[in-house]
């Protein structure tokens, strides 16, 4: 057990347990809900290619950087930056992470709440062949009591798991259930790609039209990579703070990013063929897209009607669990901060931040049909949830990742980070490449795409 001052710090039970927990944080609604929605809005195949490049060139390097910061300091993000750069402004970068965690959790729990409500709909055999899945979604998300009730239920569950502590709370869930989710996704994928008309969906998704790549696509792909890999807000710093010194950080990074990316790619292989098969338009984007598309596949799962019920219930149940392992990691950042820095109990910290995220989640819950101005925000033009997702789920994480790469590359230094990676005789594979990526490539790419966004906001069109 590691020591932090006089307080013992809990460790993950084993390296495998750590990888599963970090993968549990990474794999969630980001892969299955956000990835296809973003890909649909950004050119399909073109988005996929840029996304993969972002994962390799900036996502994985930043993940390793976060693990190293966390394990070196054994602290929450705010404490970690304070420890490595005392009396400097870097601690505010940790603070940004705490805020982003609570805001992301607020809308994340709304979507997770929908997932829970869909478990019951599937069990009841709602998704028969030919049903209007868009109308079912609108009715569910437009009912204010339903939306807020499921949000509250999901938030309560997340708080319950976080308050249970690191080992019992998080570890136990992920080990068994994530492999089952993977099997279920593969089976749904096989059915989707064999549907009539699947070819057009596959072409949209897998045949990139490179002329569609521009600054917006690159920023969305980078933001999506950070969201999906749980980077840019200190989640992996926090999780890294519980890793044993003997564990190999490089292979953990490779495992987590590969698993996460594989699940996102699979989700696309399910959604796009089904979308084209069902004749649903790409323009039906927005937060409901995946719910509408996926449920239209259920009527096609053999043997009817049992196949649809079994696959649907299993899918939404496992997705709900994947969402819990992610939402607890969103909450954990702020809880670790309050527990470490403010010396308040885990229970109080969890209840306080969970309550805050619940209140913040209400406008997102009501912005999908229940309250019209929240469904179509004045000036902004999207619903409240999509707005928060863009600002906090994508830009704040990209900004966070930018500063984390600058911090590790130029302030703390790649040599110190490498020494942490090489502790207890671990070899640092890709040392030179990683140093180059974290010092030069990550900051440059992120500065360019963020400046391009600012340019677009001011002048109406981007430079790239």
DSSP H stretches of helix in 85-143: 91-123, 133-142
Which stretch of DSSP H or E encloses residue 359?
A: helix 346-366
Binding footprint of ligand PFF on the chain (CB under 6 A): 25-26, 28-31, 104, 227-228, 230, 233, 235, 326, 329-330
What minimum distance in Å lies between the beta carbon of 371 and ligand PFF? 26
In residues, how long is the chain?
464
Q: Are 398 and 233 in contact (CB under 8 A)?
A: no
What minimum distance in Å lies between the beta carbon of 436 and ligand PFF? 26
Q: What tokens appear for 74 in the block?
A: 């054994």
Q: Are 187 and 38 in contact (CB under 8 A)?
A: no
C-alpha–C-alpha distance, residues 71 and 241, integer Å: 4
Whichever of 290 and 309 has its CB closer to ligand PFF, that residue is 290
CA 225 to chain centre: 8
C-alpha–C-alpha distance, residues 321 and 307, integer Å: 21
Whichever of 174 and 228 has its CB closer to ligand PFF, that residue is 228
Burial class (CB in 10 A: 0-12, 13-18, 19+), 7: exposed
- Tokens 């207890």 correspond to what residue? 424
Q: What tokens appear for 309 in the block?
A: 């019920």
Whichever of 214 and 329 has its CB closer to ligand PFF, that residue is 329
Neighbouring C-beta atoms of residue 172, cutoff 10 Å: 15
Whichever of 73 and 230 has its CB closer to ligand PFF, that residue is 230
Q: What tokens appear for 36 in the block?
A: 């296809």
Whichever of 33 and 428 has its CB closer to ligand PFF, that residue is 33
Whichever of 228 and 452 has its CB closer to ligand PFF, that residue is 228
What minimum distance in Å lies between the beta carbon of 357 and ligand PFF? 13
Whichever of 31 and 126 has its CB closer to ligand PFF, that residue is 31
What minimum distance in Å lies between the beta carbon of 209 and ligand PFF? 26
What minimum distance in Å lies between the beta carbon of 462 and ligand PFF? 25
Instruction: Tell me if residue 336 falls in helix, strand or coil.
Output: helix
What minimum distance in Å lies between the beta carbon of 309 and ligand PFF? 26
Contacts of 147 (CB under 8 A, 6+ apart): 110, 113, 114, 141, 365, 366, 368, 370
What minimum distance in Å lies between the beta carbon of 199 and ligand PFF? 29
Whichever of 330 and 365 has its CB closer to ligand PFF, that residue is 330
Q: Are 94 and 337 in contact (CB under 8 A)?
A: yes
Q: Which residue of this chain has its Cβ atom nearest to ligand PFF in the complex?
A: 30
What minimum distance in Å lies between the beta carbon of 18 and ligand PFF? 16
Whichever of 229 and 278 has its CB closer to ligand PFF, that residue is 229
C-alpha–C-alpha distance, residues 95 and 113, integer Å: 27
- Tokens 């209840």 correspond to what residue? 351
What minimum distance in Å lies between the beta carbon of 415 and ligand PFF? 27
What minimum distance in Å lies between the beta carbon of 101 and ligand PFF? 6
Whichever of 329 and 386 has its CB closer to ligand PFF, that residue is 329
C-alpha–C-alpha distance, residues 73 and 407, integer Å: 14
Neighbouring C-beta atoms of residue 403, cutoff 10 Å: 18
């Amino acid at each position: 057990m590691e020591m932090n001052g006089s307080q013992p710090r809990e460790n993950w039970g084993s390296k495998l347990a750590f990888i599963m927990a970090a993968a549990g944080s990474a794999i969630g609604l980001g892969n299955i809900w956000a990835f296809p929605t973003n890909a649909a809005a950004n050119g399909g195949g073109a988005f996929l290619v840029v996304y993969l490049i972002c994962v390799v060139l900036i996502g994985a390097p930043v993940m390793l950087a976060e693990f190293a910061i966390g394990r070196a300091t054994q602290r929450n993000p705010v404490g970690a930056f304070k420890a490595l750069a005392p009396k400097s402004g870097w601690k505010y970068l940790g603070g940004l992470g705490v805020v982003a965690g609570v805001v992301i959790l607020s809308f994340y729990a709304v979507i997770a709440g929908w997932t829970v409500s869909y478990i019951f709909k599937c069990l009841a055999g709602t998704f028969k062949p030919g049903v209007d899945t868009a109308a079912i979604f609108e009715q569910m998300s437009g009912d204010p009591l339903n939306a807020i009730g499921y949000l509250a239920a999901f938030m309560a569950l997340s708080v319950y798991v976080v308050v249970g502590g690191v080992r019992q709370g998080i570890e136990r869930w992920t080990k068994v259930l994530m492999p089952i989710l993977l099997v279920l996704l593969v089976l749904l994928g096989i059915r989707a790609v064999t549907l009539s008309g699947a070819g057009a969906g596959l072409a949209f998704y897998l045949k990139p039209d490179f002329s569609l790549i521009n600054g917006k696509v690159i920023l969305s792909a980078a933001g999506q990579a950070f969201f999906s890999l749980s980077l840019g807000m200190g989640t992996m710093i926090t999780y890294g703070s519980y890793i044993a010194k003997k564990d190999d950080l490089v292979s953990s990074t490779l495992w987590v990013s590969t698993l996460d990316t594989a699940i996102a790619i699979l989700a696309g292989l399910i959604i796009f063929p089904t979308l084209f098969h069902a004749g649903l338009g790409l323009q039906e984007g927005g937060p409901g897209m995946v719910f509408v598309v996926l449920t239209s596949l259920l009527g096609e799962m053999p043997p009817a009607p049992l196949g649809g019920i079994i696959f649907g219930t299993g899918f939404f149940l496992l997705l709900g669990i994947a969402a819990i392992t992610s939402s607890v990691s969103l909450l954990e950042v702020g809880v670790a901060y309050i527990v470490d820095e403010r010396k308040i109990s885990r229970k109080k910290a969890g209840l306080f931040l969970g309550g805050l995220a619940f209140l913040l989640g209400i406008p997102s819950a009501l912005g999908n049909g229940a309250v019209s101005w929240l469904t179509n925000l004045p000036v902004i033009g999207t619903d409240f949830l999509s707005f928060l997702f863009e600002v906090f789920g994508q830009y704040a994480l990209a900004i966070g990742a930018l500063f984390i790469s600058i911090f590790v590359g130029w302030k703390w230094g790649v040599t110190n980070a490498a020494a942490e990676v090489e502790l207890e005789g671990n070899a640092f594979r890709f040392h030179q490449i990683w140093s180059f990526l974290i010092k030069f490539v990550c900051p440059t790419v992120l500065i360019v795409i963020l400046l391009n966004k600012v340019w677009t906001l001011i002048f109406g069109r981007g430079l790239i």
